[in-house]
Amino acid sequence: MIGSPEKLLKEALDELQRASARDEVLQIKAKYLGRKGEIASLLKELGNLTGDGKREFGESVNRAKARIEEEVEGLLSAILDKEKAEKLEEERLDVTLPGRRLQLGKRHPVTRIMDEVEDIFSGLGFDIAEGPEVELDYYNFEALNLPKDHPARDMQDTFYISEEVLLRTHTSAVQPRVMEARKPPLRIIAPGTVYRRDSDITHTPMFHQVEGFMVDRNVTFSNLKGILTLFLHRLFGEKTGIRFRPSFFPFTEPSAEVDIRCVICSGTGCRVCKGSGWLEILGAGMIHPEVFKSVKYDAEEFTGFAFGLGIERIAMLKFGIDDLRLFFENDIRFLRQF
């Protein structure tokens, strides 16, 4: 008996209607349209037929085949669309969610004060100079009128690397280096890191200073007072009280220490100024003739002043930081406040 293409078509469409997954559809496709499938075996029967019967049978097998193909393709593309839609839904982005905030870095308070000091002195015509942190005993001490047996060397507990090499204890070491290399007139500031064997709540073995010096003909103590007063007024405000006290440094004569009115209590006396109403802020003086001698400047012709200030101390006063160690702990919550 010859098979019926119409019946086969109906069966195929029934099966396809029940199929939902891609694999099922593909199986049905193979079953009917495959090389050894139902359609193929119907076509084999063509050989047993002749004439109009053969033509009609052939045509109706082809119609059934085309119809099944159409249905299969339709189903497969519907399944593909559905999968795509599901995937899109799954990967849906909520574009209204807040973005991830970019964490911007902040400048360290020490860097900020350094920059501020540099800006003020650049505005007064000072150049910036630098020297090495691993320094020769010669520049740190000897050229600054501190020979090997000088008692004032004890003032600064020095990290020695060898007998002649040390970690510089102050930026004053930049003075003889610059003077050796250049001739007056000089207006220089030298910011940098210095080291002392000191470690407690108010001292760290590493800290920062800015050195300043000016050498020319006729530089006087009045120039020193004028420049430092202007500088401190810019840094702490025009109304800040300032006083100069006599002091001693081997590399300056006369020497002074400069105080400002306590920024915490305005002079009434508090814990920070230890009741005195004043805060010591820098050391200064007229450059000692012995220093000029070391760098082969004629002390009869040239005079100059020099000063040095501690950056951490100024940052603490300006920002109201009460513990020196905070500067070096790198706690991001501390740094973010500036």
Residues within the interface to ligand PHE (CB under 6 A): 170, 172, 211, 249, 252, 283-285, 306-308
Please count the CA atoms within 13 angstroms of the CA of 245 that sit on its side-chain side. Answer: 12
**Which residues have a Cβ under 8 Å from the Cβ of 117 and sit 6 or more positions away?**
189, 191, 210, 231, 235, 309, 311, 314
Q: Which residue's CB is nearer to ligand PHE, number 128 or number 332?
A: 128
Q: Which residue's CB is nearer to ligand PHE, number 32 or number 305?
A: 305
| CA–CA gap between residue 127 and residue 194 (Å, rounded) | 20
Ramachandran quadrant class, 267 (left: phi over 0; alpha: psi -120 to 50; beta: rest) = left
105-134 residues labelled b (16+ CB within 10 A) or e (exposed): eeebbbebbbebbeebbeeeebeebebeee
Q: Which residue's CB is nearer to ligand PHE, number 8 or number 215?
A: 215
Closest CB to ligand PHE belongs to which residue?
308
Write down the least CB distance from residue 268 to ligand PHE, Å. 28
Write down the least CB distance from residue 162 to ligand PHE, Å. 22
Q: Which residue's CB is nearer to ligand PHE, number 62 or number 220?
A: 220
Q: Which residue's CB is nearer to ligand PHE, number 5 or number 192?
A: 192
Write down the least CB distance from residue 336 to ligand PHE, Å. 31
- Cα angle: 186, vertex 114, 295; to 5 degrees: 30
Write down the least CB distance from residue 249 to ligand PHE, Å. 4
Q: Which residue has the tokens 């119809």?
A: 67
Q: Which residue's CB is nearer to ligand PHE, number 191 or number 285?
A: 285
Write down the least CB distance from residue 173 to ligand PHE, Å. 9
Write down the least CB distance from residue 309 to ligand PHE, Å. 8
